[in-house]
Chain A
Amino acid sequence: RKEVEQDPGPFNVPEGATVAFNCTYSNSASQSFFWYRQDCRKEPKLLMSVYSSGNEDGRFTAQLNRASQYISLLIRDSKLSDSATYLCVVNPYDYKLSFGAGTTVTVRA
């Protein structure tokens, strides 16, 4: 079983739509969680950290469910500029950051 698994998509949504996707992780001892954004195989950049109580950053909402071992990302009011690959990142106890393969989101006009 992979350490981190994501729905690869692609999610193709119109501007203004809401899109959500999940990521599951296998190591129950994982300590920290992040969503990164990657454009056209450029370097990944932090979108947001994911906290136990859930957190928002503008149009983006992240949730963590430790019992079921998944994290989620929801994007509201999608913009064209949100088109990217979203990487789920899990930091287990041994600090070897594990990346999901990414979820591709395309927002169309």
Chain B
Amino acid sequence: NAGVTQTPKFRILKIGQSMTLQCTQDMNHNYMYWYRQDPGMGLKLIYYSVGAGITDKGEVPNGYNVSRSTTEDFPLRLELAAPSQTSVYFCASNTGNTEAFFGQGTRLTVV
């Protein structure tokens, strides 16, 4: 089973560029999450979704957008990349009150 798949694994962006981080899961989970983790820090919730068509902001949503057109996919969009968005991004999914499964992460550097 693939579980949660994130692409790309690594990316370098120039300031002001845009990109989409892809996340897909094959476990039929309703809940999906995007987190960022800065060096030496914990995971901070960017956006989450409780089902197709429903998304909501987390702790640090500024500079990001998401969509959830299907149960499987939950892409994260960065519109105008800034150095402060240099981080490791993790996508996760679960059934709500159960353990979350994580993708392998996307290491993003904005220069």
Contact = CB atoms under 8 A, between A and B. Distances in A.
A92 B97 CA distance: 8
Nearest to A49: B99
Nearest to B104: A43
Contacts of A54: none
Interface in B3-42: 31, 33, 35, 37, 39, 41-42
Contacts of B104: 42-43
A44 interface: yes
A5 B42 CA distance: 10
Contacts of B35: 99
A89 B92 CA distance: 13
Interface residues of B, number: 26
A97 B42 contact: no
B86 to A, nearest CB: 13
A89 to B, nearest CB: 8
A13 interface: no
A99 B102 CA distance: 13
Given A42-B104, A42-B105, A99 B43 contact: yes
A101 interface: yes
B99 A41 contact: no
B42 to A, nearest CB: 4
Given A44-B102, A87-B42, A97-B100, 8 more contacts: A32-B97, A43-B90, A43-B103, A95-B96, A96-B48, A97-B33, A99-B44, A101-B42
9 closest Cβ pairs, A-B complex: A101-B42, A43-B102, A99-B43, A46-B99, A99-B42, A95-B96, A32-B97, A43-B104, A43-B105
Interface of A: 31-32, 34, 41-46, 49, 87, 89, 91, 95-102
29 contacts: A31-B97, A32-B97, A32-B98, A34-B99, A41-B37, A41-B39, A41-B88, A43-B90, A43-B103, A44-B43, A44-B90, A46-B99, A46-B100, A49-B99, A87-B43, A91-B97, A95-B31, A96-B48, A96-B58, A97-B33, A97-B92, A97-B94, A99-B35, A99-B42, A99-B44, A100-B42, A101-B41, A101-B42, A102-B42
